[in-house]
Amino acid sequence: MSVLAQTRQDALNLFEKLGLPTQRDEDWKYTDASRLKDLLQPTPTDANIHIKDMGITGLDAYRMVFINGLFAEAESNLPEGVSILSLAELEKNSVGEDAEGIAKLFTVDTQAPLLNGFNAFNAAKASDGAVIILADNAILTKPLYILHISNQSNVVRHSFMIGKHAEAQVIEHFISTDDTKALSNTCSFVALKAEARLEHTRIQQEGSKQSHVARVQVKQCKGSSYQFHGVEIGGILSRTDLVVNLHGEGASCDLNGLFVLGGRQHVDHHTRIDHKAPHCTSRELYRTVLDGRSHGVFNGKVMVHEDAIKTDSNMSNGNILLSKHAEIDTKPELEIYNDDVKCAHGATIGQLDDKQLFYLRSRGISAETAQELLTFAFADEVLVAMSNQTVRSYVEKAAFAKLPHSDDLEEMLGS
């Protein structure tokens, strides 16, 4: 058996050993993975999807399209002189020495936090993915927009390797063509060399019966910077494990999450930041707006290791429940193994601020509009950090369209 085949077989064995997580698992207490058992197997067909005009229109970006987990080259537009490759393509052409390198892309790090059966399954069964290798000092002049379109279960596996002093912006967008019951199992592995910078956006906007399980695993070298924007507006059940390893001195991460949910949507983000080196900074801002019978779960754990002196960590999670049947379970956790740190974290669950409501009403804005305005503003604060304005206004429109009376958005929202 080739190294590559062996690696994938190992992953399958690991999956069989781990199985799917159960609610007895502390990390899966609120999310019922058993519902996804029958949806695991990918069915990578291109299913006659007409992708014209799908996704974010008017975005000035390089484009990589995956249909049901397979790279659609004809629909894509990639830059010259930069290695942005299809994982399946690489796999097919791998021989000799290359094969070992490629096999590494499928290796499961069993020691990584929050590892679960879905992740092992992903390594075993991924049908394709994007492999970005950005050389030292290279700058991707436009964002890379990775559009995932599906109406079947699919398994994709991305690797973003950003060289020293290199810079990139990657936007992953997940949409469906219909309301088929299916599962997207996705992994994105990010490796940032010294002083590298990546802005990484994930927008989960799949069909109303689609489920989504994701792992985003980031390793950061010295002085690198990683910015994450996770937007959850679609699907029925969505779980993300976001794992950041601040491995090199002076690295920084900035994690932003926004859930705008209604109906019976269930979204669970577990984030884990390991401060392993001195002088690292982590920022985390998660906000949820929950309507209907939706259920949000946020678990944010920051672990400050012994050597990580002068750690600066700040986490905040705010939640607004618009309906009395909506539910949020939030747990910010902090574990610190040295004294020389500055850490703050907190979560709020609540209704809107009375003083702000009264202020708006006293200016002639109706109670109903004032509530919406404050809700939009609350959610929008997470998006302020997004550098791409086309993406930001797309997300604003898509997210806020879920709430009643969402006209006049652009002027409504402050800067």
Partner 1 sequence: MLEVKDLHVSVEGKKILKGLSLTINAGEVHAIMGPNGAGKSTLSNVIAGRDGYEITSGTITYKGDDLLEMSPEERAWAGVFLAFQYPVEIPGVNNTYLLKAGVNAKRKHQGLEELDAFDFMKTVKEKAKLVELDPSFLSRSVNEGFSGGEKKRNEIFQMAVLDPALALLDETDSGLDIDALRIVAGGVNKLRSKDKAIVMITHYQRLLDYIEPDFVHVLADGVIQKTGDKSLAVALEEHGYDWVKENK
In the complex with partner 1, the residue whose CB is nearer, 337 or 359, is 359
Looking at the Cβ atoms of 139 and 384, the one nearer to partner 1 is 384
Instruction: Show contacts with partner 1 in window 280-339 (CB under 8 A).
Output: none
> To 10 degrees, what angle do helices 354-362 and 367-383 make?
120
Structure tokens belonging to residue 361: 């009403």
Query: Rounded distance, CA 257 to CA 283, Å?
Result: 11
Phi, psi angles (nearest 5°) of residue 298: -130, 125
Q: Which stretch binds partner 1 (CB under 8 A): 147-155, 293-301, 336-344, 404-412?
A: 404-412
The residues in 374-403 that bind partner 1, with binding defined as CB under 8 A, are 374, 376-378, 380-381
- Shortest reach from residue 357's CB to partner 1, in Å: 9
The Cβ of residue 411 has, within 10 Å, a number of other Cβ atoms equal to 6
Scanning 27-35, 79-87, 189-197, 365-373 for contacts with partner 1 by CB under 8 A, the matching segment is 365-373
Nearest C-alpha neighbor of 160 from the set 98, 87, 96: 87
Per the CB < 8 A criterion, the answer to whether 414 and 373 are in contact is no
Among 58, 81, 96, 364, binds partner 1 (CB under 8 A): 364
Shortest Å, Cβ 66 to partner 1: 34
Least Cβ distance, residue 99 to partner 1 (angstroms):
51
The residue behind tokens 């898509």 is 398
Phi, psi of 4 (to 5 degrees): -65, -50
Cβ 415 to partner 1 shortest distance, Å: 6
Answer yes or no whether residue 358 interacts with partner 1 by CB under 8 A. yes
Q: Which stretch binds partner 1 (CB under 8 A): 35-43, 144-152, 326-334, 359-367?
A: 359-367
| Residue 54 interacting with partner 1 (CB under 8 A) | no
Q: What is the largest CA-CA distance in the chain?
A: 74
Pairing of strands 70-71, 83-86: unpaired
The interface with partner 1 within residues 20-49 (CB under 8 A) comprises: none
End-to-end CA distance of the chain: give it in Å, rounded: 57
Q: How far is the CB of 86 from partner 1 (least distance, A)?
A: 40
Joined together, the tokens standing for residue 344 give 């703050």
For 128, which DSSP code?
Answer: B
CB of 402 to partner 1, least distance (A): 17
What's the closest the beta carbon of residue 318 comes to partner 1, in angstroms? Answer: 11
The yes or no reply on residue 142 touching partner 1 (CB under 8 A) is no
Q: Provide the b/e sequence for 350-372 (b: ≥16 CB within 10 Å).
A: eebeeeebeebeeeeeeeeebbb
**Which of 353, 387, 401, 405 is in the footprint of partner 1 by CB under 8 A?**
353
> Which residues of this chain interact with partner 1, rule CB under 8 A?
353-356, 358-367, 369, 373-374, 376-378, 380-381, 408, 411-415
